[in-house]
Chains A and B, each alone.
Chain A
Amino acid sequence: MKLLPIEYATRNLGRSPSRLILTVFGSSLVVLLIMIAAGFMVGMDATLNVSGSDKNIMLLGAGSLESVERSEVKMESSGIVSSSIKGYKTKAGVEGVSPEVHIQIPIDIQGEDRLVLIRGVEPEAFLVHERVEIEYGSLPRAGHNELLVGSLATRTLGYGKPKDALGKTILLDDDSYAITGVMVACGGIIEGEIWAPLSDLLVTTQRDTLSCIVVAIDEESGGTRSQLDGFAASRVDLELAAISEREYYAALAEFYKPIQLMVVMTCLMIAIGGLLGGFNSTYAAFASRVREVGTLQTLGYTRSAITFSLIQESILTASTGAIIASTIALVAIDGYTIRFSMGTFTLLITTEIVTLGIASGLALGVIGAIAPVIRCLRLPIPQSLRASE
């Protein structure tokens, strides 16, 4: 099959700049929204998936399995847990039983109250949550109102770069705290949190209960999940229930499903608008070329060759849109943080998503060309030659 020169396709793009802009805009909108929806899902899943470990069992208030922030655990439970169960991690005298308080506190950021999850922790927390690492600065000292801030939380707090947070002070319930360190946790949900020494946070919030006790079981020394289930069931006086971190975050992910669905549906609906707009202008761009296509056929070009050229043209437009969308996605969307009451998520534009975006751009090009191609080639040549321009 002899094909039309590529210049025919590229020059045709410039034929009607306003239509071209409309089509490129439409396809970039569609591709961008596809990428945002995918990035949102990937980002949220990534955060929730890396957050939960099977080896970390959370002991929560018996009635609050679904929300650690509503959970209340008696202060003395922590000691009872570490003395009555065996088989948890220990390291240099630190036991893998981490008493924690999880609490949402509104923090005033440039006049706007933003809810941030604050976790009150003891040194045990760093053994239990082994992925937490100090990226900048140092650990907060108990009794000094110092804070460790997750790298994502630094954005929530309005610092341009995570490092900028060091040395800054913020108010928690009228108590002033200084940021001494920034932590990372392999992209886990902890990166959206702020950690404070447990005792300081209890004083600030005037609380006398824990939210949970996280036990890092050590299977090698006989630690089991069922031991903790048994402990929770036999110590009814402590009003505890056991759930693995993984299960907890899986349930949280389940809770976010409708939100995910809503985001995806919203993106989809706007995308359909863009799609129809794009298709419409592609159609209009081709519709006026019936006679020209008839002429090319008269010269000896086959219908397949012409179809190929028209699809080429449509793909060029759509993939230009896809490239614009990918650029916007990588520059402006990647890493964009979204805050929900239960955590901060990042929109992640991965290579897979860029590939998806480009692929959908190409698909849009092909699909968008179908109707106009049919329109241009439907008529027998003599009739298309009689078509008005």
Chain B
Amino acid sequence: MTLIKCKQITKHYYRGSEQITPLKGLDLEIQRGSFVALMGPSGSGKTTLLNLLAGIDTVSEGELIIDNEQIHNFSKNKLASWRADHIGYIFQLYNLVPVLTAYENVEIPLLLHSINRNERHERVSDALENVGIADRYNHYPRQLSGGQEQRVAIARAIVSNPTILLADEPTGDLDRETGTAIMDLLKSLQEKQGQTIVMVTHDPQTTKWADTVLHLEKGQLIEQEVRS
């Protein structure tokens, strides 16, 4: 079942009078429950595409349909609440809020939903459990290692049961061993909960966890490889 549908997506940026077009007429479909790895050389438009899917950036031309909704027509505020409902975003540098504990960081997205305190507690605990960091719930980000921080970040991304989990080089800042653990964790989310994952990566090694690998070059999809 198609979850994400990109129709002739083009994105322009303007740097002064110069026009930059990181995405040119991109067509793409992503199935629900799949684990997609986005590959491509630097500057090929991977992050740009991910940001469009996340609803933190808007297309210049074309249509972007996610879960039967025409995202490209949404206003800024509508996009914000849509993100809260549908998107979990994992950053390369974790981006945890330094003044909040692991628990509170994970709780932050839930505050955007009308959920009572008890259920919130349950869901935050579940998410922390899920990523295997429940024992560190009371720690501040500076008291955690990179891998632990990324686990908290993943918990934060999954706590509100997003439709899509987006990750921009989630293991880019981690050593191989920790990276592997994080990839295993993502894979298990896909397998156990049917979570759709779109992940940008530079590292061909990490593509082995994905079931679909997309190759971008100069803003266009040049190869789509589906593994079973």
**A–B contact at 8 Å CB threshold (below):** yes
Report if B63 contacts A (CB, 8 A): no
Q: Closest residue of chain B to A302, judged by CB?
A: B80
Are B80 and A7 interface neighbours, CB within 8 A?
A: no
Are B97 and A300 interface neighbours, CB within 8 A?
A: no
Instruction: Pick the residue among A8, A297, A300, A301 that contacts B100 (CB under 8 A).
Output: A8
Interface residues on A, range: 20 to 34
Q: Closest residue of chain B to A13, judged by CB?
A: B99
Given A2-B112, A4-B111, A5-B111 in contact, is the A298-B100 Cβ separation under 8 Å? no
| Distance in angstroms between the alpha carbons of A198 and B51 in the assembled complex | 91
Instruction: State how many angstroms separate the Cβ of B88 from the closest Cβ of chain A.
Output: 9
Report if B215 contacts A (CB, 8 A): no
Residues of B contacting A2 in the complex (Cβ-Cβ under 8 angstroms): 84, 111-113
Contact flags B54-66 to A (C-beta < 8 A → 1, else 0) = 1011000000000
Given A12-B99, A292-B97 in contact, is the A299-B57 Cβ separation under 8 Å? no
Instruction: State how many angstroms separate the Cβ of B16 from the closest Cβ of chain A.
Output: 15
Can you list 15 pairs linking A and B with CB atoms under 8 Å apart?
A2-B113, A4-B111, A7-B104, A291-B95, A296-B108, A297-B80, A298-B54, A298-B83, A299-B89, A300-B84, A302-B77, A381-B51, A382-B47, A382-B56, A385-B91
Residues of A contacting B56 in the complex (Cβ-Cβ under 8 angstroms): 297-298, 381-382, 385
| Distance in angstroms between the alpha carbons of A381 and B87 in the assembled complex | 15
Report if B43 contacts A (CB, 8 A): no
Residues of A contacting B111 in the complex (Cβ-Cβ under 8 angstroms): 2-5
Are A298 and B89 interface neighbours, CB within 8 A?
A: yes
Instruction: Pick the residue among B51, B104, B109 that contacts A299 (CB under 8 A).
Output: B109
Given A4-B111, A5-B111, A381-B56 in contact, is the A299-B83 Cβ separation under 8 Å? yes
Are A300 and B95 interface neighbours, CB within 8 A?
A: no
> Which residues of B66-96 have CB atoms within 8 Å of chain A's CB atoms?
76-77, 80-81, 83-85, 87, 89, 91, 95
Report if B98 contacts A (CB, 8 A): yes
Residues of A contacting B85 in the complex (Cβ-Cβ under 8 angstroms): 300
> Known pairs A15-B98, A291-B95, A300-B85. 18 more at Cβ < 8 A?
A5-B104, A5-B108, A5-B111, A11-B99, A15-B99, A292-B97, A295-B95, A296-B108, A298-B54, A298-B56, A298-B83, A299-B83, A300-B84, A301-B80, A302-B80, A382-B48, A382-B51, A385-B91
Tally of chain B residues near chain A (CB < 8 A): 28
Residues of A contacting B97 in the complex (Cβ-Cβ under 8 angstroms): 8, 292, 295-296
> Which residues of B24-47 have CB atoms within 8 Å of chain A's CB atoms?
47
| Distance in angstroms between the alpha carbons of A279 and B25 in the assembled complex | 47
> Which residues of A207-247 have CB atoms within 8 Å of chain B's CB atoms?
none
Across the A-B interface, the 4 shortest Cβ-Cβ residue pairs: A300-B84, A11-B99, A381-B56, A295-B95
Residues of A contacting B95 in the complex (Cβ-Cβ under 8 angstroms): 291-292, 295, 385
Residues of chain B at the chain A interface (Cβ within 8 Å): 47-48, 51, 54, 56-57, 76-77, 80-81, 83-85, 87, 89, 91, 95, 97-100, 104, 108-109, 111-113, 156
Instruction: State how many angstroms separate the Cβ of A300 from the closest Cβ of chain B.
Output: 3
Report if A380 contacts B (CB, 8 A): yes
> Which residues of A253-303 have CB atoms within 8 Å of chain B's CB atoms?
291-292, 295-303
| Distance in angstroms between the alpha carbons of A3 and B54 in the assembled complex | 21
Residues of B contacting A381 in the complex (Cβ-Cβ under 8 angstroms): 51, 56-57
Given A292-B95, A298-B56, A299-B83 in contact, is the A7-B100 Cβ separation under 8 Å? yes
Contact flags A4-31 to B (C-beta < 8 A → 1, else 0) = 1101100110110000000000000000
Candidate in A15, A295, A300, A303 with the most chain B CB atoms within 10 angstroms: A300
Residues of A contacting B109 in the complex (Cβ-Cβ under 8 angstroms): 299-300
Residues of B contacting A300 in the complex (Cβ-Cβ under 8 angstroms): 80-81, 83-85, 87, 109, 112
| Distance in angstroms between the alpha carbons of A380 and B56 in the assembled complex | 8
| Distance in angstroms between the alpha carbons of A154 and B57 in the assembled complex | 73
Residues of A contacting B51 in the complex (Cβ-Cβ under 8 angstroms): 381-382
Q: Closest residue of chain A to B99, judged by CB?
A: A11
> Which residues of A345-389 have CB atoms within 8 Å of chain B's CB atoms?
380-382, 385
Residues of B contacting A301 in the complex (Cβ-Cβ under 8 angstroms): 80, 84, 112
Q: Closest residue of chain B to A15, judged by CB?
A: B99
Residues of A contacting B76 in the complex (Cβ-Cβ under 8 angstroms): 303
Instruction: State how many angstroms separate the Cβ of B216 from the closest Cβ of chain A.
Output: 16
Are B99 and A299 interface neighbours, CB within 8 A?
A: no
Q: Closest residue of chain B to A389, judged by CB?
A: B93
Instruction: State how many angstroms separate the Cβ of A41 from the closest Cβ of chain B.
Output: 42
| Distance in angstroms between the alpha carbons of A291 and B92 in the assembled complex | 13
| Distance in angstroms between the alpha carbons of A264 and B45 in the assembled complex | 60
Residues of A contacting B81 in the complex (Cβ-Cβ under 8 angstroms): 300, 302
Instruction: State how many angstroms separate the Cβ of B108 from the closest Cβ of chain A.
Output: 6
Instruction: State how many angstroms separate the Cβ of B69 from the closest Cβ of chain A.
Output: 15
